[in-house]
Structure 1
Amino acid sequence: MSFLSENEIEDWACEILQECGYAVTTGPDISPGGAHPERTSLSDVILTARLRTAIERLNPHLSQAARDEALLALRREDTPDVVDENRRLHGYLVDGVPVDVVREDGTQSGDRARLVDFDHPERNDFLAVRQFVVEKDEANRRPDLALFVNGLPLGVIELKSPSSETATLDSAWNQFQTYRAFIPSLFRFNEVLVISDGT
């Protein structure tokens, strides 16, 4: 009996994601110096151009200043605690980012900038990135797959080969703990973690 390699499992996962509407690319391709760079630095975990486009598309009623305010709120880290930061950003994802709006009569009020089109999911931008390198300080880590919705990294998938005795689901879970310790910025927006050995 032959087992799938980790790379074959990754290929299979990408095929499934494509069937679900995800475009698939590689980390090196969208990194600085890549064929289609979408990041100015390996420390960037938000695909800013995609996010900016989504905010503009989903919030035509908001001024450019309000849309810029929403983008800044997403890029800013309010707390060093990953769990607290994840809760804050989950609220933004579900309810929208609170922004100030100046009305035509000069009064100010609050509004919310939507980040995801929940009513029409097909109108969102879905991207799976293979081997997405994230760098912080002198350390860098490379999850097998990072899943982006409208430029936000909402999912991380770690795959292991069932033919390797050391590449267990437990080791994949421990890998997430290492990622969380060394590249916590990737987990600020996280909504789902997946580990699989293909079986």
Structure 2
Amino acid sequence: MLGFHAYYGPDLAVGMLAAERKDPSFRDVVLGERLRRALERLNSDLPPEAVADAARKMLWVESTSLVERNRAFHPMLVDGVTVEYRRPDGSIAGAQARVIDFDEPENNDWMAVNQFTVVEGQHERRPDIVIFVNGLPLAVIEPAAAIGQNLGTKTHIEELPSSAGGPGSSFVVETRKGSH
């Protein structure tokens, strides 16, 4: 059985007792420490440097467009992150570091966060509920009661975290051209 942990978004802010966010301006969308702990737990057979490499690759997707970032991010999420590391004998080994345990979902860290603030440029968004799996924001939920206000679907889509990148662009990992 999946066990969601429920949190109130402001409680995760820098300086709070349950702080999980590192950026006081709310530009961070990935809960980095949760991601790192999940990668360590799901890939206990990999050396620490390989796990650190997987975390870095998840957090810094190379691309300039939202579509390209999603195309790069999705295979890592589903198939794992390709990493290389040096064995004790000096040879180089390769592996796929799992990001999510699809076979045994209860091995993942599930969070439901109410009122998770995201700031991108001059835009601040606060979805009702953001679902995190292993520190990654994978779903946004706006309960049906809010939709019942006759605002229409288009209005609700426009309220999702967005900026010049379009709806949902706030919920992407950082990009650095040429970074590894």
- Segments of 4+ in structure 1 off by > 6 A? none
Q: 1:82 aligns with which of 52, 66, 90?
A: 66
Q: Which runs of 5+ in 2 are unaligned?
A: 175-180
Question: Aligned pair 1:146/2:146, yes or no?
Answer: no
Counterpart-to-counterpart distance in 1, 2:146 and 2:81: 40
Work out whether residues 82 and 188 of structure 1, in 8 Å CA contact, stay in contact via their aligned partners in 2. no
Q: Residue by residue, what CA displacement relative to the aligned partner does 1:103-155 show, whole Å, maximum 9, x if unpaired? A: 22211132111011111111111001111101123332111111100101111
CA distance in 2, matches of 1:162, 1:101: 49
Which residue does 1:40 correspond to in 2? 22
- Do 1:126 and 1:150's aligned partners in 2 also have CA atoms closer than 8 Å? yes
Equivalent positions of 1:22-171 (< 5 A) are 22-41=4-23, 42-159=26-143, 161-165=146-150, 167-171=151-155
Distance 1:184 1:58, change over 3 A: same
- Partner amino acid for 2:91? T
Instruction: Give me the whole-angstrom Cα distance separating, in 2, the residues matched to 1:139 and 1:67.
Output: 33
Is this contact kept in 2: 1:147–1:153, CA < 8 A? yes
Q: How many Å apart are 1:188 and its aligned residue?
A: 5.1
The one-letter code of the counterpart of 1:35 is L
SS in 2 for 1:135: strand
- Which 5+ residue runs of structure 1 have no aligned equivalent? 1-18, 190-199
Q: Provide the C-alpha distance between the structure 1 equivalents of 2:75 and 2:147, rounded to a whole number of angstroms.
A: 37
SS, match of residue 71 in structure 1: helix
Length-normalised TM-score, structure 1: 0.77
The alignment covers a number of residue pairs equal to 170
Percent of aligned positions with the same letter in both sequences?
Answer: 38
Cα contact 2:79–2:96 (8 A) shared by 1 = yes
State the AA in 2 paired with 1:26: Y
Q: Kindly report the root-mean-square deviation, in angstroms, between the aligned alpha carbons of the 2 structures.
A: 2.3
Cα contact 2:119–2:170 (8 A) shared by 1? no
Inter-partner Cα distance in structure 2 for 1:163 and 1:59:
44
Question: CA shift at 1:157, angstroms?
Answer: 1.5
Larger helix proportion of the pair: 1
Normalised TM-score (structure 2): 0.84
* Residue type at the aligned position of 2:94: G
